Amino acid sequence: MRLSVQHETRYRFTEPQARIVQLLRLFPGDTSHQTVVNWRIDVDCDARLRESIDGYGNLTRMLYAEGPVETLCLTVTGEALLSESDGAIEATDEPFPPELFRRVTPLTRADDAIAMLATGSDLAAMTALAAAIHGRWSLDRRPTPAIRSAIEAAADDRVSPRDMAQIFVAAARAKGVPARYVSGYSLSGDDERRTLAPHAWAEAHVAGGWFAFDPAVGGRSGLDHIRVAVALDAAGAAPIAGVRMGAGEEVLDVDVHVEGSEQA
């Protein structure tokens, strides 16, 4: 399947900013089941972009924009080919052994309620965990800029894909299963109008390999997920981590325009 993305993130500032520095994790890498055909990012103001790879092996760009900046628009345009893998993730760049992803971070602590969501530590249990989260919380896809911890999110009824992914990670680690947070894009919506939107899910290391689970759909993730970045938690895999130097407020029109197309 071929998926194409056009995704805009637009910032407006109430006062011009002197400088903006952002770390972008917006570039997917190839895996055994994901081939990036073309991918690019456009910035609507004078900016320097520098390519790198972070500690987790994610492809990154540093963005340096000199002010005065009143608005900033990042447009990601790309295409990827996906093939069926039933959730298995192979041939990724893995700088760390799975053990690292047992580490509990402040965002992925589990309380008893979260720990009880996972009933075991095998592939079936992880699939069931995704289903359990899907059943327990109702999904709210509206963008939420502030990252909250799994425990904070679990107290709510409506949670974001990001919250669900962190709850999954927390519950899996509570069972001793290496698990990690994934950010990327996925198809959503009904058959009439399917769009490819920024999304978050999780991977767990079971049966000798990494598998992707999407609690937002309640099972293993499949053909319609473009995997971009992984980390211990949502903060580490944030698509855009930025700092602005200047006064005033920031108004974020995240993801105003997303388009996906699907071809057999």
Distance CA 254, CA 252 (A): 6
The nearer residue to other proteins, 56 or 201, going by C-beta atoms, is 56
The nearer residue to other proteins, 57 or 143, going by C-beta atoms, is 57
Fill in the per-residue mask, 69 to 108: x = in contact with other proteins (CB under 8 A), - = not in contact: --------------------------xxx-xx-xx-x---
- Which of 2, 14, 16, 52 forms a contact with other proteins (CB under 8 A)? 52
Residue 18 sits in the site that holds other proteins (CB under 8 A):
yes
Residue 166 sits in the site that holds other proteins (CB under 8 A):
no
Fill in the per-residue mask, 226 to 255: x = in contact with other proteins (CB under 8 A), - = not in contact: -----xx--xx----xxx------------
Options 46-54, 75-83, 219-227, 249-257: segment touching other proteins (CB under 8 A) = 46-54
- Which of 66, 90, 94, 111 forms a contact with other proteins (CB under 8 A)? 66
- Of 161, 202, 147, nearest to 178 (Cα)? 202
The contact set with other proteins (CB under 8 A) reads: 18-19, 21-23, 48, 50, 52-57, 62, 64, 66, 95-97, 99-100, 102-103, 105, 231-232, 235-236, 241-243
